[in-house]
Amino acid sequence: MSALAPLRLLYFAGLRERLGTAEEAVALPAGIATVGDLMAWQRDRSPAHAAAFAAAARVRCAVNQDFAQAQTPVGAGDEVAFFPPMTGG
Amino acid sequence: MATIRVQPEDFDLSAEVAALTSGRTDVGGIGCFTGTVRDNPGGRSIAALTLEHYPGMTERAMAQIAAEAERRWSLLGCTLIHRVGRLEPGENIVLVVAVSAHRQAALDATAFLIDWLKTRAPFWKKEIFADGGEAWVAARESDADAAARWGGGA
């Protein structure tokens, strides 16, 4: 995948509502190598992002539709989704 | 191979069981669980729930959960159906069917499938209150505990 390919960021449920967006494409920010890095970057984007991502333990993440942890690598072209704990069934 | 569906439409338990068992004579037990929308979930009446999911990943996570059940028990088939969209009290939300030669595998696999489905498949419920207002449902510790009793990490 080209280093220029954007990251596709998806947001679901309460996180989508707090941020007012379901999906965005962003250029891979410099120095971002993992989900943990991306979460820290999100918190610096705006007060709304800071609030939405404040409690990292309550934000779940998936990279390319597989559940991810803070240490999971992310790179250009990846689809990264953020969402609250799941409440199906 | 499990049947996995995410759909706004209702499902028919009898039809889903028949699809798993018709023409077979090796089935000895059929485990079924149907989850329905209950009113007053938190002591406040609701007009409806809305169910959101992550198209693509949700189906993939459900298939992985079904594959885990098939690894743990000798199943002759299983079906997972989860509805999405607006659902009113009394309506069906979710169906799990597991069939096996013997009852214990069918019953245990059914319990496992619904426990993991609640905590490991990307679905989110919002309550639409009868007196106005709405709120996302918070994940419950008891659901996490129910899922954790089957092992397999967080």
Instruction: Report the CATH architecture of B3-148.
Output: Alpha-Beta Complex (3.90)
Q: How confident is the model at residue B153 (pLDDT cuts 50, 70, 90)?
A: low
Average pLDDT over residues B144-153: 84
Residue A14 maps to a domain? yes
> In whole numbers, what is the pLDDT of chain B averaged over residues?
95
What ipTM was predicted for this assembly? 0.92
CATH number at residue A27: 3.10.20.30
* DSSP structure string for B32-94: EEEEEPPS-TTSS-EEEEEEEE-TTHHHHHHHHHHHHHHHHS-EEEEEEEEE-EEE-TTSEEE
Residue A35 maps to a domain? yes
| Contact by Cβ (8 Å): A56, A69 | no
Q: A17 — phi, psi (to 5°)?
A: -70, -40
* DSSP structure string for B59-70: HHHHHHHHHHHH
The alpha-carbon radius of gyration of chain A (Å, integer) is 12
pLDDT attached to residue B152: 80
Instruction: Report B:67-86 residues touching A (Cβ under 8 A).
Output: 82
Query: What's the structural domain count of chain A?
Result: 1
Residue A88 maps to a domain? no
The answer, yes or no, to whether residue A69 has pLDDT greater than 90, is yes
Q: What sign does the CA torsion over B132, B136, B137, B141 have?
A: negative
For chains A and B, CB pairs below 8 A equal: 71
Q: What sign does the CA torsion over B1, B2, B6, B8 have?
A: positive
Q: Does B121 touch chain A (CB under 8 A)?
A: yes
| Contact by Cβ (8 Å): B115, B135 | no
Q: Does B126 touch chain A (CB under 8 A)?
A: yes
Q: How confident is the model at residue A87 (pLDDT cuts 50, 70, 90)?
A: very high
Residue A87 maps to a domain? no
Q: Does A18 touch chain B (CB under 8 A)?
A: no
Cβ count near B114 (within 10 Å): 23
Q: Domain-by-domain residue ranges, chain B? A: 3-148
pLDDT attached to residue A44: 94
Q: Which secondary structure element, helix H or strand E, spans residue B7, and what is its range? A: strand B3-7
pLDDT attached to residue A4: 75
Q: Which of B27-36, B74-83, B136-145 has the lowest mean pLDDT?
A: B136-145
pLDDT one-digit tens code per residue, B36-60: 999 998 889 999 999 999 999 999 9
Number of helices (H), then strands (E), in chain A: 3, 5
